[in-house]
């Protein structure tokens, strides 16, 4: 209800000091309530844009455009339930497993975006980028600061685990990060390897079993199967170009 007290409280929250300085004169004016609403909406919009930029989501296909008919296996109901963000409230994890190009990254990005819309913090990174960055730090203080950065978001998306092989150092760093986030925040991982093959991703690393154990405890694990959607799109583009060339050749032929 837009009582003078409520309006003044909202103006205080927005730090509209000029307006507040003249509050006795304007408290009952009809334009105050819409002014505050416009300011709140604009600040909320700019805040979301900034947080999306800071989360490094980049460009991605929204969930409404996801082709659910393309994967031969994908539990749509489970994915849509994840979008309610109950797993974030429970500080649980999500693991999306499947071959290249079936939409794992798209779904993970949509989860991060939904978290941002709902006021949570989020960060997207690839496993290679994050572990390479952490391993390159040459001081304990710098490593602690960077680990804190990755440990802090309510939702951390680690994309493409399994596409590269890593050293024991990388495995230890990932285990340290997952341990810091364990039971406190939510981690979303996409991988093209079943957990039984993670010993090949982190060969000779002693912490792999413990790493997987902490990651999957109370986690939603969703398997996606099918042909690469990127390959499908590339094939369709090639067919379209071939048709255009065929039409162009036919038009050039003398009648």
Of 232 and 2, more confident: 2
Q: Return the CATH number at 104.
A: 3.40.50.300
What pLDDT does residue 250 have?
Answer: 75
User: Which band of pLDDT confidence, cut at 50, 70 and 90, is reported for residue 249?
Assistant: confident
Residues 221, 110 within the same domain? yes
What pLDDT does residue 190 have?
Answer: 97
What mean pLDDT do residues 161-174 have? 94
Residues 22, 129 within the same domain? no
Residues 34, 137 within the same domain? no
Give the chain's domain count.
2
Beta-ladder partners of 158: 125, 189
Tell me the residue range of the domain where 22 lies: 4-54
**Within a domain: 255:** no
Residues 50, 67 within the same domain? no
What pLDDT does residue 231 have?
Answer: 72
Residues 73, 153 within the same domain? yes
Residues 42, 126 within the same domain? no
What pLDDT does residue 46 have?
Answer: 85
What is the share, in percent, of the chain residues with pLDDT greater than 90?
A: 67
Against a cut of 0.75, is the pTM above it?
yes
Q: Is the dihedral of CA 105, 110, 111, 115 positive or negative?
A: positive
**Within a domain: 206:** yes
For 16-65, the pLDDT digits (tens) are: 999 999 999 998 898 988 989 888 888 887 888 888 999 999 999 999 99
Whole-number average pLDDT of the chain: 91
Residues 82, 33 within the same domain? no
Residues 34, 77 within the same domain? no
For 219-240, b/e burial (b = at least 16 CB within 10 A) is: bbebebebeebeeeeeeeeeee
Please determine, for residue 255, whether its predicted confidence score (pLDDT) is greater than 70. no
CB 198 within 8 A of CB 72: no
Residues 211, 138 within the same domain? yes
What pLDDT does residue 65 have?
Answer: 94
For 211-247, the pLDDT digits (tens) are: 999 999 989 999 999 988 777 677 777 778 877 777 7
Residues 146, 103 within the same domain? yes
Residues 84, 146 within the same domain? yes
Distance CA 191, CA 189 (A): 6
**Within a domain: 31:** yes
- Domain boundary, last residue among 35, 54, 73: 54
């Amino acid at each position: 209800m837009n009582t003078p007290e409520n309006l003044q409280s909202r103006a205080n929250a927005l730090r509209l000091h000029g307006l507040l300085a003249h509050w006795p004169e304007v408290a009952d004016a009809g334009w105050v309530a819409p002014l505050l609403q416009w300011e709140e909406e604009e600040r909320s919009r700019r805040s979301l844009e900034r947080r999306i930029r800071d989360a490094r989501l980049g460009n991605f296909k929204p969930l409404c455009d996801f082709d659910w008919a393309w994967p031969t296996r994908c539990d749509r109901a489970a994915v849509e339930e994840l979008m309610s963000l109950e797993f974030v409230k429970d500080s649980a994890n999500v693991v999306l497993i499947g071959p290249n190009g079936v939409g794992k990254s798209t779904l993970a990005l949509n989860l991060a975006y939904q978290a941002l819309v709902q006021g949570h913090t989020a960060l997207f990174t690839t496993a290679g980028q994050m572990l390479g960055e952490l391993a390159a730090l040459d001081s304990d203080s710098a490593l602690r600061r960077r680990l804190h950065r990755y440990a802090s978001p309510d939702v951390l998306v680690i994309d493409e685990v399994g596409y590269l092989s890593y050293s024991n150092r990388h495995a230890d760093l990932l285990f340290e990060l997952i341990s810091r986030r364990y039971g406190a925040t939510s981690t979303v991982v996409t991988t093209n390897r079943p957990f039984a093959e993670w010993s090949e991703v982190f060969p000779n690393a002693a912490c792999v079993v413990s790493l997987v154990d902490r990651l999957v405890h109370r986690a939603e694990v969703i398997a996606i199967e099918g042909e690469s959607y990127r390959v499908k799109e590339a094939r369709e583009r090639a067919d379209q170009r071939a048709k255009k060339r065929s039409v162009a050749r036919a038009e050039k032929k003398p009648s």
